[in-house]
Chain A
Amino acid sequence: MAERESDKALDRETPVGAVHVLAVVPMKQTVLYPHVALPALVGRQASVEAVKAALATEEKTLVVVAQRDPGQDEPGPQDLYTVGTRAVLKQMTRSPEGMRLLLVGIERVAIEHWEQTEGFLRARVRVLPTPADVGPEVEARMRAVMDLGRRVVEIVQPDAQVDVSEMVARNADPLQVAYVVASLLPLPGEQGQRILEADTRLEALRLLNESLANEIRVLEIRKEIAGQAASEMSKSQREYVLRQQLRAIQAELGEGDPQEQEAAVLRERLEKADLPEHVRKEAERELSRLERLPPAAPDYQMTRSYLELVLELPWKAAEPAEIDLGKARGILDEDHFDLEEVKDRILEDLAVMKLNPGAHAPILCFVGPPGVGKTSLGQSIARALDRPFERLSLGGMHDEAELRGHRRTYIGAMPGRVLQAIRRAGRRNPVMMLDEVDKLGRGFQGDPASALLEVLDPAQNGTFRDNYLDLPFDLSQVVFITTANTLDTIPRPLLDRMEVLRLAGYAREEKVAIARRHLIPRRLAEAGLKPEQLEIPDDTVARLVASYTREAGVRELERLLGRIARKVARRVAEGTASSVRVLPADLQELLGDERFLPEEARQELLPGVATGLAWTESGGEVLYVEAALLPGGKELRITGSIGEVMRESATAAQTWVWSHAKELGIDSDRFEKAGVHLHVPAGAVPKDGPSAGVAMTTALASLYTDTPARRDTAMTGEISLAGLVLPVGGIKEKVLAAHRAGLRRVVLPEGNRRDVKQIPDEVRRDLEVVFASRIEEVLETALTRGVREARARS
């Protein structure tokens, strides 16, 4: 239900001219206005008696009148104004100080006759009319009062519950506004009284306006003075007192001024430091600034850390260490199995550095699946070169300032990570590994990849300028090595500046050898076992690789070996065994059930299915391309999370098969009456790239000629519309995947013949590799009956 309280529903005023005889309570400072509530404490005996008399009436009303002189303690009639306010007592409680009252004014009254002056005052009063004049001037005055009033109220009572503008929005009576504003102000008694006595609204507003303007000036000045005094006095005095105390304590302890000491230490270090001239000049400038600064200045700490950085950075080139190529080769071989190509490349670079120590250090990029030893190869290089190794992970870095530092004007500014690494290394020529360069983020705070360009560009990094240091620093002697899982996400300009070395995945035999030579000894040492206490023969490792891991690298394998070592260590420590030989049959007990069934090739292939090979960031995989007719359809439908390039490749395969229908012996009815659907499981794994073209063509040819593809044959290669088979990447991983899956034949593009060298001999012995330069050759090899036979049959 809607309820409406009219704002005009004012108090039941008695008619103008009505006469009351009421107790009178004098007020020292305050004027009570009609329709305004006023809390008050009544302590004076006469006032308490007056309130008691009012309480003893049925209606609990009394008259409140202001005193002319606030200092008068026992005011008589002559000490009071003659205009007051009739008020109703809303609440009363007693307290030791007297009575606490809540009064609400009803109407203005004029005192006509004093009826009683003994004990307390009682008077006959006549109700005065409520001013009700209207007009534009009243309106204008009211607005001025509101504006000023709001400002005053904000200063005097910041948490007052009255919003002056809200009152006006409710169409409050202008006089009412004036009364409320007046009662919120600490107006001197006389001014407040004159507003109460005003016979017109205009007069009341005018008086109030005057007082407000005056008041606001006084208040603002007072506030300003108070604020200034409080903040200035306390801060500087506190600091002074504390400083004096500090002096006294230091004198007591026999110490000098720490600031002077600090500056002296820095100066001493600066004099001893071997700095280039331009750096020394800058450092001198900062140091003399530091000596003048008070330690509490925000700049003080900043300048000090800056100077420390400048003093700690290795500005001068170190004596080039003699590079022993034989020893380097030994270290690389000791740490890493195989990787011949990469090792050769590194040794070549070392040879150049040996002959020309001033040459730019190489900037290498190791690309390969996780766990193939990219990071540890970097460590070996550092060891072979006898230089410090520093590693920065760039993964997810999205702020340019992290690499290049913040300018010193910012609070909490720091040098970039590159410079911090140099400082940690303490040499100007460390091996610095920038890990996960393919996972650089990109945020709104600039592009860290672009900042890396400067770091990695041999033409620019001789004068690398960090924002914080703001002095050129020579990075040209740093051997930068970046690592990545894939080259696809590395920005092109960045890639151009690096020499890419690929580390492919390892074959099972290689993993066994790595485990024997590196992983097992390391894990034994970590578990605190002696070699004779735990033996893990090669066939056990081979079983581990095949049934418990599926990875291109050896990270998971190493973890599993660590688990075995820990379990054996426990038995040895508990005394239940003294030496353990882990046989393949023991793995179930040690590690639980086999996690992976060996990747089995499909036992039988229907017409329309071909075996393809895919390269992923974690190695190679066997995948099947499936094709089926869509009776009544027309289109080529492709599914299985296929990317744009692979989709185009499928279209090319379809076009080639349709346009060579005659040669293949395909009844053209078959594709005129039906569409075709190509699917590449697993449907949830995104796939892209052109290298499935050959497999898709084979699948389509197999479908239309109704000839199954050979199930032991896998294939890879891009296809062109002219039927050419074009070379693709990732051959080693793909062939290893085929081998793992137990396939016996692999069809590769002729153009990839040279890549076969990378494939380990053990794998090549088991596999027949067929090179094809045209798709017809692929079909000849891959289909069970061959194309010619199919044609002859039709």
Chain B
Amino acid sequence: MSHDPIAELLFSEPATPSTANWRPRADVYRTPGGWLVKLDLAGVRPADVTVTLSGSSLTVSGCRRDWLLEREWDHVQMEIAYNCFERRLDLPGEPGSCRVSTEFRDGFLMVRVEPER
């Protein structure tokens, strides 16, 4: 294994500071009842996700593990980011004390943040 200029060209990405974590994409909605955050977390086991709310900062972190592991199968190409992810989002406004609920649907993780009255 070597440091190869052709590879550099191919990936055209010289060494840059980066985190090994990947960042799932997110949509944030303001709903009548509070907030809804939708994250693109296809392939992640619900058990591998942690959601924490601290003030107005919502952190969704976890790990995507490749569960498609078969004997005598060989990877030819890999583009999906595995391993740890983390996404930190600032909810607009001051949520105060909230109820947080999650639901997985068709590869999206829906995080509902609803202030308690």
What is the distance, in angstroms, from A41's C-beta to the closest C-beta of chain B?
A: 4
Q: 0/1 per residue, A1-31, Cβ < 8 Å to B?
A: 1111110011110000000000001111110
- State in angstroms the CA–CA spacing of A405 and B72 once bound together: 87
The contact of A57 among B17, B22, B66, by CB within 8 Å, is B66
Per DSSP, chain A at the interface is: mixed
Q: A1-B28, A4-B88, A39-B7 known; A58 and B19 CB under 8 Å?
A: no
- Contacts A28-B1, A167-B17 aside, 10 further interface pairs with beta carbons under 8 A come to A2-B92, A12-B21, A37-B13, A39-B8, A39-B13, A43-B2, A52-B75, A59-B83, A89-B82, A184-B15
Most A CB contacts (10 A, CB to CB) among B18, B20, B79 go to B20
- Of B1, B16, B21, B61, the most chain A CB neighbours within 10 A belong to B1
Q: How near does chain B come to A205, taking the closest CB pair, in angstroms?
A: 16
Report Cα–Cα, A35/B90, bound state, in Å.
Answer: 24
A88 to B14, CA, bound (A): 17
A160 to chain B, nearest CB (A): 6
Which chain A residues lie closer than 8 Å to B15 at the CB level? 36-38, 162, 180, 183-184
Quick check: which of A100-108, A588-596, A652-660, A666-674 contacts chain B, the rest being far away?
A: A100-108
Task: Kindly state the separation between the CA atoms of A42 and B14 in the bound complex, as whole angstroms.
Answer: 17
B92 near A1 with CB under 8 A, answer yes
Is chain B's interface secondary structure helix, strand, loop, or mixed overall?
A: loop
Alpha-carbon gap, A92 to B92, bound state (A): 38
- Once the chains bind, are B2 and A28 in contact (CB under 8 Å)? yes
Q: Given the complex, which residues of B lie within 8 Å of A28, measured CB to CB? A: 1-3
Interface size on B, residues (CB 8 A): 44
**A125 cross-chain contacts in B, Cβ below 8 A:** none
- Taking the nearest CB of chain B, how far is it from the CB of A175, in angstroms? 11
A409 lies within 8 A of chain B by Cβ: no
Q: How distant is the Cα of A57 from the Cα of B2 in the complex, in angstroms?
A: 23
A752 interfacial contact with B, CB 8 Å = no
- Residue B47 lies at the interface, judged by CB distance under 8 Å to chain A: no
Residues of A161-205 whose CB lies within 8 A of B? 161-162, 167, 172, 176, 179-180, 183-184
Contacts of A697 in B (CB 8 A): none
Contacts of B21 in A (CB 8 A): 9-12
B8-52 interface mask toward A, CB cutoff 8 Å, 1 = contact, 0 = none?
101101111111111100001000000000000000000000000
B67 nearest in chain A by CB position: A58
Of B17, B61, B74, B89, most A-chain CB atoms within 10 Å = B17
Within the assembled complex, what's the spacing in Å between the Cα atoms of A87 and B2? 16
Cα of A60 to Cα of B76 in the assembled complex, Å? 14
Q: Which of A25, A58, A87, A160 contacts B69 (CB 8 A)?
A: A58
With A1-B90, A36-B16 in contact, is A41–B6 under 8 Å at CB? Answer: yes
CB atoms of A12 and B84 under 8 A apart: yes
Q: Is A47 located at the chain interface by the 8 A CB criterion?
A: yes
Asked whether any CB of chain B lies closer than 8 Å to the CB of A232, the reply is no
Interchain CB contact (< 8 A) of A93 among B23, B74, B77: B77
A-contacting residues, B58-98, CB 8 Å = 61, 63, 65-67, 69, 74-79, 81-84, 86, 88-92
CB distance from B52 to the nearest CB of A (A): 13
Chain A proximity of B117: nearest CB distance (Å): 23
Chain B residues positioned under 8 Å from A5 (CB to CB): 23, 88
Known: A36-B16, A161-B16. A100 touches B10 (CB 8 A): yes
- What CA separation (Å) do A11 and B82 show in the bound complex? 13
- A6 and B89 alpha carbons, distance in the complex (Å): 10
CB-CB nearest 5 A-B residue pairs: A58-B65, A41-B4, A39-B11, A41-B7, A183-B15
Residue of B nearest to A14 (CB): B84
Query: Are A94 and B76 in contact, with the CB atoms below 8 A?
Result: yes
Taking a contact as CB atoms under 8 Å apart, the answer to whether B20 and A106 are in contact is yes
Residue A97 at the chain B interface, CB threshold 8 Å? yes
Note all chain B residues with C-beta closer than 8 A to A176: 17
A497 in the interface, Cβ–Cβ < 8 Å? no
A87 and B83 alpha carbons, distance in the complex (Å): 10
Chain A residues near B79: list those with CB within 8 A. Answer: 91
Contact: A37 with B65, CB < 8 Å? Answer: no
Contact A162 B89 (CB under 8 A): no
Determine the distance from Cα of A56 to Cα of B70 in the docked complex, in whole angstroms: 8
Q: Which of A117-146 contact B (CB under 8 A)?
A: none
Check B74–A52 contact: CB distance below 8 A.
Answer: yes
